[in-house]
């Protein structure tokens, strides 16, 4: 896989993500695009947009002795993978052969940042973590990310209960579920003002 950066993640759009999209015409248009992608699967309380998986390339790679992967056919097709904000397990070699459906070669992510998932917006790769920073400051960012993730989990549970109280979910009545989410006031997270971390490069590089 080339020119995909670290975008090996197949985005899982939660009820909070979906509710945010319902609040604007742009968001509704993006939601419609997500829904119509060939790899998209709609579950009761989230939407999973699956992208490209190079199965033949992966099989050739594994035949060379890289057999510690967690991958199997049923897992890939049935969505039993689970990712937290801070990433993945190195034993899962499928990450080297997957690409997000929203990645455009030479451009990057085609989704506006406000409509990306928490994993996409808050994932920190090991190359960044391994750099020299004031550890106390870096830990503040990591702790705040954890608090935000916990807040999102609470909000998603609240929206799930809201849909349950109306007797609907995304699989039984997609349009009604969207209308309920759209009408419900959206809570916002109060991010603290943290001291910025400047990532410098000894030699500037062109895009």
DSSP 27-76: HHHHHHHHHHSTTEEE-SSEEEE--EE-HHHHHHHHHTT-------HHHH
Are the CB atoms for 101 and 9 separated by under 8 Å?
no
CB 33 within 8 A of CB 148: no
Q: What are the pLDDT tens digits along the chain (207 aa)?
A: 445 456 677 899 999 999 999 999 999 999 999 999 998 999 999 999 988 777 777 777 778 765 544 444 444 333 333 333 344 444 566 666 777 888 887 788 899 999 999 988 888 777 777 776 677 888 888 899 999 999 999 999 999 999 999 999 999 999 999 999 999 999 999 888 888 877 665 444 433
So what's the pLDDT on residue 65?
64
Dist CA 101 CA 96 (whole Å): 15
**Predicted pLDDT at 15:** 97
Q: What is the pLDDT of residue 130?
A: 73
pLDDT in tens, 163-188: 999 999 999 999 999 999 999 999 99
Question: How much is the pLDDT for 60?
Answer: 78
CA distance readout (Å), 88 to 4, 6, 7, 30, 172: 16, 11, 12, 26, 32
Q: What is the pLDDT of residue 83?
A: 36
Q: Name every residue whose Cβ is closer than 8 Å to that of residue 144 and which is 6 or more positions away in sequence.
A: 191, 192, 194
Q: Could you tell me the CA-to-CA distances from 178 to 37, 43, 71, 164, 195 in Å, in that order?
A: 18, 14, 34, 13, 38
Write out pLDDT tens, residues 52-75.
777 777 777 778 765 544 444 444
Q: Which tokens in the block code for residue 31? A: 């939601």
Helix axes 135-165, 174-183, angle to 10 degrees: 120
Q: What is the pLDDT of residue 100?
A: 85
Tokens of 146: 């954890």
Q: How many CA atoms, within 13 angstroms, populate the side-chain half-sphere of residue 142?
A: 13
Q: Which pLDDT does position 5 carry in this prediction?
A: 54
> Contact 47/34 with Cβ under 8 angstroms?
yes
């Amino acid at each position: 896989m080339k020119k995909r950066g670290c975008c090996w993640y197949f985005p899982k759009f939660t009820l909070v993500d979906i509710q945010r999209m319902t609040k604007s015409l742009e968001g509704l248009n993006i939601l419609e695009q997500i829904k119509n992608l060939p790899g998209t699967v709609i579950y009761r309380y989230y939407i999973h947009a699956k992208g490209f998986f190079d199965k033949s390339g992966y099989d050739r790679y594994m035949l060379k002795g890289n057999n510690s992967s967690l991958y199997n056919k049923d897992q890939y097709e049935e969505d039993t993978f689970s990712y937290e904000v801070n990433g993945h397990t190195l034993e899962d070699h499928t990450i080297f052969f997957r690409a997000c459906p929203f990645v455009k070669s030479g451009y990057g992510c085609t989704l506006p940042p406000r409509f990306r998932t928490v994993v996409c917006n808050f994932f920190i790769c090991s190359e960044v973590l391994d750099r020299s920073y004031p550890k106390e400051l870096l830990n503040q960012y990591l702790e705040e990310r954890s608090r935000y993730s916990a807040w999102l989990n609470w909000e998603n549970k609240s929206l799930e209960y809201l849909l349950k109280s109306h007797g609907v979910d995304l699989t039984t009545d997609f349009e009604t579920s969207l209308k309920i989410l759209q009408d419900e006031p959206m809570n916002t997270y109060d991010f603290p003002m943290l001291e910025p971390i400047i990532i410098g490069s000894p030699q500037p590089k062109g895009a």
